[in-house]
Structure 1
Amino acid sequence: MVFAPWPAQADVVLLARVLHDWDDQDAVRILANARGALRPGGRVLIVEFVLGDAHFGGGLCDLHLLTVTGGRERTRHEFVRLLTSAGLWLERVDTKPALPHLLVASPE
């Protein structure tokens, strides 16, 4: 389960369209477990849609997630807050041709 400590050790943990299904508290728990599974020098790669601070894009997805799973789409600032709470820092956000972005995070 994603909420119990992970027994594996990895150089990279990939969370693709996972965090948007969870509220902030649970998302931080998942990220903290991902951090705990990293070997020294490891990274957490997150594939998610990143909402613009002043853009309506993703609003329909956000509403759908809220009603179905209790989760939500997030802005870059909100991802930084989640990552910081889990002991990670955001190295960069890569924009991809499709909607999702790639967020690269590493232990603080």
Structure 2
Amino acid sequence: MFTLLILGAPLMTNVPDQQAQGRSRLAPPGAHRRLAGAAPAASCGGAELVGKKWTEEMRAPLLSGGHREVRLLRVGQPRTMDLREDRLNVILDSAGQVIEITCG
């Protein structure tokens, strides 16, 4: 058993893996994944807002389009994973620009 500990010791270091340093498990800023089952903006309305800076005046037309809730989310922000057909998700980048709109 002592021999196994000595042989395994080189494997237990705090030196970072040089190949892994260039990769990250987190998506880069600006990247995002759509929730499973969430429809893209083309089918839920609001696609014309993508690329524009978000203002609260944009909310009323979205609500009048049949959505009960408009949820603002920032890239990388934690969110609930419940899928609600009556909710519109507006994903904003760090500058407040709309980068994606999904249903759910």
Structure showing greater radius of gyration is 2
Q: TM-score, normalised by structure 1?
A: 0.29
Q: TM-score, normalised by structure 2?
A: 0.30
Return the structure number with greater helix share. Answer: 1
Q: Which structure dedicates a bigger proportion of its chain to strand?
A: 1
